[in-house]
Amino acid sequence: MAYDNILAARLEKLITRKFCKSGTLKETRIFGGFGYMLNGNMCMGILNTTLMIRVGVETANTLLKEPHVRPMDLTGKIMKGWAMLEPKAISKDQDMERYCRLSVEFVKTLPKK
């Protein structure tokens, strides 16, 4: 699987501009795509044209009620605590920043690996 290079560039710019001080976000290759880990935990990533975010079960359940947000399902089994954002959900930079912030804030609560 591949990832959208334009979306990856937008995400990298956002991470650099807004989240560098949030902890140690490290670029990684995940699920055949591109993403970021925070303190050794998977935080967010891109698969094809979707942004995957780790936000915890409660927040994910809330986000799934929003348009253009769907459960993360890569193998036929939904990954709880994650959400996949379709391009329309993140077409505006402020929307993408909101979703990324939710992910960073959640992953900061996880034990470091």
Q: Is 40 helix (H, G, I), strand (E, B) or coil?
A: coil
- Which pLDDT does position 24 carry in this prediction? 73
Q: Is the pLDDT of residue 11 over 70?
A: yes
Q: Is 28 inside a domain boundary?
A: yes
Q: Is 112 inside a domain boundary?
A: no
Q: Which residue has the higher pLDDT, 80 or 1?
A: 80
Q: Is 50 inside a domain boundary?
A: yes
**Domain span at residue 18?**
5-107
Percent of residues, the chain, with pLDDT higher than 70: 95
Q: At what angle do helices 5-14 and 93-107 cross, to 10 degrees?
A: 70
- Which pLDDT does position 21 carry in this prediction? 64
Q: Is 49 inside a domain boundary?
A: yes
- Which pLDDT does position 1 carry in this prediction? 52
Span 36-44, mean pLDDT?
93
Q: Is 55 inside a domain boundary?
A: yes
- Average pLDDT of every residue of the chain: 91
The pTM score is 0.91
- Which pLDDT does position 20 carry in this prediction? 74
Contact indicator for 78, 72 with CB cutoff of 8 Å: yes
Q: Is 113 inside a domain boundary?
A: no
14 contact partners, CB below 8 Å, separation of at least 6:
93, 96, 97, 100
Q: Is 93 inside a domain boundary?
A: yes
| Chain position carrying tokens 């990954």 | 79
Considering only CA atoms, which of 85, 67, 93 is closest in space to residue 11? 93
Whole-number Å distance between alpha carbons of 26 and 38: 6
Whole-number Å distance between alpha carbons of 94 and 26: 22
Q: Is 71 inside a domain boundary?
A: yes
Tokens representing 13?
Answer: 């710019």
- How many structural domains is the chain composed of? 1
CATH code for the domain in which residue 21 is found = 3.90.1150.30
Taking only the tens place, the pLDDT of each residue in 49-64 is: 999 999 999 999 999 9
Tokens representing 32?
Answer: 């055949």
